[in-house]
């Protein structure tokens, strides 16, 4: 896991580092520029823009007035010192408008013979023609110190880069690669979707990484996020983070171990309450997810009318039973998954309300999220006893927030609202909430948040979320069963980050689900929920034997 910082925390870290090491004003900028240049050269020029002579790569930097401009200008200087010839810097008119370090690096850039273009004094068609000839265009207009909507020359520069981005569809041959320095210009903690922002193909983000890059509405603006390290080695002494980025390599930390001699009950018992006449398929995807998690005993509880169909379709994966008060008792299960395709009528509301007053851990998805919101709107903050995981998609999340009076979640909300609102709900109800979008934010009642960067378009298919809720339920059942085993290895994570059974289950499910989706996207292209579940099986079983 990597820490994610807000832009304000990043500024605090910069000030701390300057004071700690007694750096001259431009020393930290010079270190950052060298690191940025190395990543740009190794990860983009050599790997993504292979040429016979890398030094023939053309690079232009569109600069603002602040430290990001100084970084980019210093990067161009390092490129020139390594023999790169085709370099340009687009800067505002009047060098005196630049901050001190940016002015200093502009003078150094001019002394290196790099072409300087004053974009405020040049017509846009000429600027676009210049930029369109470049292999790489560096976005260095605004950095982490910017707030609110971009104005003046900065807004004009962002407009120029956006015109380049939109015009690439009409270009012939290879288009310019837009690379943001640290963060796409215009983006920040208070960014709103109607603010002007650069759409980058890649972002060279100085570690610790920025939280704003991973907000669902903002994530497409960053492109490929390439960490640039070695600049702030003592960051933990200056700022602490409650927001963490999950990485594929973390998955083993969240999957429960299992003994080769374990019987089915020791692998966890999970019940699935899902499906209705209007949403029959969702229950099957959910069962497949629970099976992919490695749960040992799975039962699908359904309406009587669906029993024959479900018995034929899922009988090899789960016990199929008709849901009734006599047939189902939550205390008989380690975890219960409720909601996919279930319906939201009054009978379902009463059934969920009863479940919420049991002691069995619940994973609530889809219709159960809507029902939870309805019940919560009628009750005080903590109205239930069961441990709960909610897995809403953005539409269900909006309903949840709206019904509980937590404010608007329309298009014109700050990017930071994703974390703030998720954490507010998690804290209010003492639940774990996993908001599933292009990125997944998992909020915990202790104020911590874990973020998974999805970036797999194949996961955007009906049934994908049902597989995830089944995975979470299956892993939750396994962790719960493991906790009953005396001295079980890996069952006690006290003192570690995200150590509870609920946390490990949902984070393991998110990692397995997202990683499997990425792999399928690369190897297969589009895929079905059943294929996704099978790919998840391979990941969870490899963890057991790898």
Tens of pLDDT along 321-354?
999 999 999 999 999 999 999 999 999 999 999 9
Q: Is 66 exposed, middle or buried (0-12, 13-18, 19+ CB in 10 A)?
A: buried
Torsion angle of C-alpha atoms 380, 383, 389, 390, degrees rounded to 10: -50
Structure tokens at 480: 């719960």
Cβ contacts of 452 within 8 Å, gap of 6 or more: 245, 246, 439, 440, 442, 510, 511, 514
Which pLDDT score is estimated for 410? 43
User: Which of 176-180, 269-273, 538-542 bottoms out in mean pLDDT, i.e. has the lowest?
Assistant: 538-542
Tens of pLDDT along 81-111?
999 999 999 999 877 788 999 999 999 999 9
Which pLDDT score is estimated for 14? 86
Structure tokens at 92: 């505002």
Give the Cα separation of 401 and 445 in Å (integer). Answer: 16
Bridge-partner residues for 452, per DSSP? 246, 440
Degrees, nearest 5: CA angle 30-31-36: 95
Which pLDDT score is estimated for 266? 82
Q: Which of 123, 62, 126, 66 is nearest to 88 (CA)?
A: 62
Beta-strand ranges (E) seen in 339-403 are 361-365, 388-391
Confidence of residue 21 (pLDDT cuts 50, 70, 90): confident
Q: How are the residues of the chain apportioned to helix, strand and coil, as percentages rounded to the nearest 5? A: 45, 15, 40
Q: Average pLDDT for residues 22-47, to the nearest whole number?
A: 90
Structure tokens at 221: 């603006």
**pLDDT of 492 over the 60 cut:** no
Confidence of residue 20 (pLDDT cuts 50, 70, 90): confident
Tens of pLDDT along 280-313?
999 999 999 999 999 999 999 999 999 999 999 9
In which element (H, E) is residue 154 found?
helix 152-167
Which residue stretches of 168-210 are H helix?
Answer: none
Residue 379 per-residue DSSP state: S
Tens of pLDDT along 35-91?
999 999 999 998 877 665 778 899 999 999 999 999 999 999 999 999 999 999 999
Give the Cα separation of 509 and 511 in Å (integer). Answer: 5
Give the Cα separation of 45 and 58 in Å (integer). Answer: 10
Which pLDDT score is estimated for 487? 66
Structure tokens at 31: 């270190």
SS3 143: coil
Which pLDDT score is estimated for 546? 43
Give the Cα separation of 244 and 441 in Å (integer). Answer: 10
Which pLDDT score is estimated for 544? 52
**pLDDT of 238 over the 80 cut:** no
Which pLDDT score is estimated for 419? 84
Percent of the chain exceeding pLDDT 70 equals 91
Average pLDDT, the chain: 89
Which pLDDT score is estimated for 545? 44
Confidence of residue 497 (pLDDT cuts 50, 70, 90): confident
Give the Cα separation of 464 and 281 in Å (integer). Answer: 11
Confidence of residue 237 (pLDDT cuts 50, 70, 90): low
Q: CA of 104: how far to CAs of 30, 107, 457, in Å?
A: 11, 5, 44
Confidence of residue 236 (pLDDT cuts 50, 70, 90): low
Give the Cα separation of 359 and 409 in Å (integer). Answer: 32
**pLDDT of 490 over the 60 cut:** no
**pLDDT of 247 over the 50 cut:** yes
Which pLDDT score is estimated for 59? 96
Which pLDDT score is estimated for 307? 97
Contact 454, 438 (CB under 8 A): yes
Tens of pLDDT along 136-145?
999 999 999 8
More confident residue, 256 or 381: 256
The pTM of the whole model exceeds 0.85: yes
**pLDDT of 415 over the 90 cut:** no
Contact 310, 284 (CB under 8 A): yes
Q: Which of 41, 111, 46, 43 is nearest to 73 (CA)?
A: 111
Helix (H) and strand (E) counts in the chain: 16, 19
Which pLDDT score is estimated for 343? 96
**pLDDT of 404 over the 80 cut:** no
What angle in degrees, to the nearest 10, is found between the helix axes of 394-403 and 367-376? 10
Structure tokens at 349: 């509301």
More confident residue, 411 or 482: 482
């Amino acid at each position: 896991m990597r820490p994610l910082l807000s832009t304000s925390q990043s500024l605090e870290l910069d000030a701390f580092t300057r004071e700690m090491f007694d750096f001259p004003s431009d020393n930290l900028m010079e270190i950052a520029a060298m690191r940025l240049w190395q990543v740009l050269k190794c990860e983009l020029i050599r790997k993504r823009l292979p040429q016979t002579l890398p030094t023939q790569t053309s690079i232009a930097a569109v600069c603002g007035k602040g430290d990001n401009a100084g970084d980019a200008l210093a990067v161009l200087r390092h490129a020139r010192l390594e023999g790169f010839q085709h370099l340009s810097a687009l800067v505002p008119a009047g060098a005196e408008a630049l901050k001190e370090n940016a002015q200093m690096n502009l003078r150094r850039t001019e002394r290196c013979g790099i072409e300087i273009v004053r974009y405020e004094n040049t017509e846009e068609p000429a600027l676009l023609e210049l930029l369109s000839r470049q292999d790489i265009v560096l976005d260095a207009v605004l950095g982490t110190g910017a707030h609110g909507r971009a104005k003046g020359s900065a807004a004009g520069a962002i407009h120029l880069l956006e015109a380049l981005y939109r015009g690439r569809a009409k270009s012939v041959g290879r288009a310019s690669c837009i690379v943001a320095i640290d963060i796409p210009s215009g983006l920040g903690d208070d960014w709103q979707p109607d603010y002007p922002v650069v759409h980058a193909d890649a972002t060279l983000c100085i570690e610790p990484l920025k939280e704003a890059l991973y907000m669902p509405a903002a994530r497409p603006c960053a492109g490929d996020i390439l960490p640039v390290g070695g600049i702030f080695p003592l960051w933990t002494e200056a700022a602490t983070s409650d927001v963490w980025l999950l990485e594929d390599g973390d998955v083993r930390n969240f999957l429960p171990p299992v003994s080769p001699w374990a019987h089915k009950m020791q692998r966890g018992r999970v019940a699935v309450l899902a499906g209705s006449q209007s949403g029959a398929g969702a229950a099957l995807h959910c069962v497949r997810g629970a099976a992919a998690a490695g749960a040992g005993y799975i039962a699908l509880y359904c309406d009587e009318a669906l029993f024959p169909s479900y018995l034929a379709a899922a009988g090899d994966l789960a016990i199929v039973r008709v849901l009734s008060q006599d047939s189902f008792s939550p205390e008989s299960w380690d975890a219960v998954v409720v909601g996919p395709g279930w319906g939201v009528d009054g009978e379902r509301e009463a059934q969920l309300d009863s479940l919420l007053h049991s002691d069995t851990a619940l994973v609530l998805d889809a219709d159960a999220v809507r029902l939870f919101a309805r019940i919560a709107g009628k009750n005080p903050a903590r109205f239930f006893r069961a441990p709960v995981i909610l897995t809403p998609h953005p539409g269900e999340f909006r309903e949840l927030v709206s019904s509980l009076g937590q404010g608007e979640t329309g298009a014109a909300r700050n990017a930071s609202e994703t974390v703030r609102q998720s954490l507010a709900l998690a804290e209010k109800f003492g639940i774990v909430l996993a908001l599933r979008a292009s990125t997944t934010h998992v909020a915990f009642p202790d104020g911590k948040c874990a973020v998974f960067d999805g970036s797999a378009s194949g996961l955007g298919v009906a049934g994908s979320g049902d597989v995830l809720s089944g995975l979470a339920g299956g892993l939750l059942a396994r962790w719960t069963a493991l906790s009953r085993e005396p001295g079980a290895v890996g069952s006690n994570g006290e003192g570690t980050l995200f150590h509870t059974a609920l946390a490990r289950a949902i984070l393991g499910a998110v990692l397995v689900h997202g990683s499997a989706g990425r792999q399928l996207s690369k190897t297969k292209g589009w895929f079905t929920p059943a294929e996704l579940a099978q790919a998840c099986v391979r990941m969870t079983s490899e963890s057991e034997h790898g």
